């Protein structure tokens, strides 16, 4: 942990949780597991489906397939035009669902507006739903018997573990209640015996709630919403937010420099949760092949 002078002369006491480093460890594990499967004649297959030409989604898909290939996963891209019909996409999902070479199916979100996204996700066979968004997989997380956990919350849990953060008995505050991040995050923390408060856009006294938290997970999408002064000294701060600043730089949901003066551990943006989300997708994919 680096102790030194921070911005404004305050003492930076936080240990920075390096998501790139932890993600590299996860990827090493995944590579070993794909090699073990290869020794049994199984090539792990991941199908990534991208509809339309949203540039951000295209970047994510490219990164995911590159990561997968680096870990010995046979990743294939399936690109469909933006005007693909619901039935057309369902047909592709059904084809991939029936293909024994495909262990994991990922449909890149958001889909163009005319799609019924929930119906598309529900059409992915749950045992191939490596994004962990199928109702059955979300339900298993709620039961405390996860099979595939949504990648971002899974990555946050892994970062907490790597940081040596004690979750059992801790008071945790999650900001944001999306199905993708906040809700499964709250469930995972509760499963790990934290006492969880799930905050959202209608929450009053956010500052007081954050100030009482041993663990803060910010997943809102508002730059520096969480002020450094709110952070309880010694807390663990995980910043999921990805926001584009006026200067084009990425910034998180947490006022980083000020929070780092109070927190015991903190994740940077970029280089914190993002790489872990990508790594946890690979972990879910190799798991799908192991369970097949
Ligand atoms: P979302 O828009 O679906 O949900 C945002 C949530 O924040 C909602 O539940 C809303 O109630 C809550 N919220 C809004 N204003 C609030 C306020 N003032 N106080 C407290 N809560 C408030 O977003 P999402 O998909 O959950 O993503 C959240 C952020 O995380 C975004 O910045 C997104 O880009 C980022 N993200 C990062 C990764 C990653 O890998 N690092 C992955 C997914 C999402």
Q: What are the residue numbers of the active site?
A: 64, 108, 131
Task: Among 155, 157, 201, 213, say which to mutate for ligand 1: greatest number of ligand atoms within 8 Å of CB.
Answer: 201
> Residue for token digits 């290869």?
38
110-118 average pLDDT score: 97
Collapsing DSSP states into helix, strand and coil, what is residue 68?
helix
Q: What is the mean pLDDT of the chain?
A: 95
Q: Is the pTM of this model over 0.85?
A: yes
pLDDT at 173 over 70: yes
Check if the beta carbon of residue 261 is closer than 8 Å to that of residue 11.
Answer: yes
Residues 186/192/194/195 CA torsion (nearest 10 deg): 60
Q: What is the pLDDT of residue 13?
A: 82
Residue 14 per-residue DSSP state: P
CA of 142 to the centre of ligand 1 (A): 20
Rounded distance from Cα 74 to ligand 1 centre (Å): 31
Query: Is ligand 1 within 6 A of the CB of residue 280?
Result: no
DSSP-H helix ranges across 224-263: 256-260
**11-12 vs 4-5, strand pairing mode:** antiparallel
Structure tokens at 126: 């749950």
Closest CA to 152 of 38, 62, 233, 267: 267
- Backbone dihedral angles phi then psi of residue 12, each to the nearest 5 degrees: -85, 110
pLDDT tops 70 at residue 6: no
CA atoms within 13 A on the CB side of 76: 12
Tokens standing for residue 282:
């690979």
Which of the four pLDDT bands, split at 50, 70 and 90, describes residue 2? very low
Neighbouring CB atoms inside 10 A of 28's CB total 12
Cα(191)–Cα(205) distance, integer angstroms? 26
Does 270 sit in the ligand 1 pocket, CB within 6 Å? no
pLDDT at 225: 98
The tokens 């927190």 sit on which residue? 263
Read off the pLDDT of each residue in 152-181 and give the average, rounded to a whole number. Answer: 98
- Give the pLDDT band (50/70/90) at residue 12: low
How far is the C-alpha of 58 from the C-alpha of 51, rounded, in Å? 9
Place 1 in a pLDDT band, splitting at 50, 70 and 90.
Answer: very low
199 lines ligand 1 (CB under 6 A): yes
């Amino acid at each position: 942990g680096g102790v030194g002078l921070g911005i404004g002369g305050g003492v930076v006491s936080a240990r920075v949780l390096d998501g790139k480093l932890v993600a590299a460890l996860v990827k090493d594990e995944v590579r070993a597991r794909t090699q073990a499967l290869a020794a049994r004649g199984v090539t792990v297959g991941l199908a990534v489906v991208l509809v339309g030409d949203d540039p951000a989604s295209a970047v994510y898909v490219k990164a995911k397939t590159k990561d997968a290939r680096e870990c010995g996963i046979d990743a294939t891209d399936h690109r469909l035009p933006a005007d693909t019909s619901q039935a057309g996409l369902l047909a592709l999902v059904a084809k991939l669902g029936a293909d024994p070479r495909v262990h994991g199916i990922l449909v890149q979100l958001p889909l163009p507006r005319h799609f019924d996204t929930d119906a598309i996700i529900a059409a992915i066979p749950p045992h191939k739903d490596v994004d962990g968004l199928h109702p059955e997989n979300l339900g298993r997380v709620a039961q405390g018997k996860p099979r595939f956990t949504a990648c971002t919350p899974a990555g946050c849990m892994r970062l907490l573990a790597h940081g040596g953060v004690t979750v059992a008995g801790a008071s945790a505050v999650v900001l944001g209640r999306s199905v993708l991040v906040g809700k499964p995050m709250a469930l995972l923390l509760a499963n790990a015996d934290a006492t969880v408060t799930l905050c959202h856009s209608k929450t009053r006294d956010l500052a007081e709630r954050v100030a009482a938290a041993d663990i803060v997970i910010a997943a809102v999408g508002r730059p520096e919403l969480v002020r450094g002064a709110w952070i309880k000294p010694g807390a663990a701060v995980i910043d999921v937010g990805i926001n584009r600043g006026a200067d084009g730089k990425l910034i998180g949901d947490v006022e980083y420099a000020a929070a780092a003066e109070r927190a015991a551990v903190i994740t940077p943006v970029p280089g914190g949760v993002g790489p872990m989300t990508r790594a946890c997708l690979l972990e879910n994919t190799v798991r799908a092949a192991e369970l097949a």
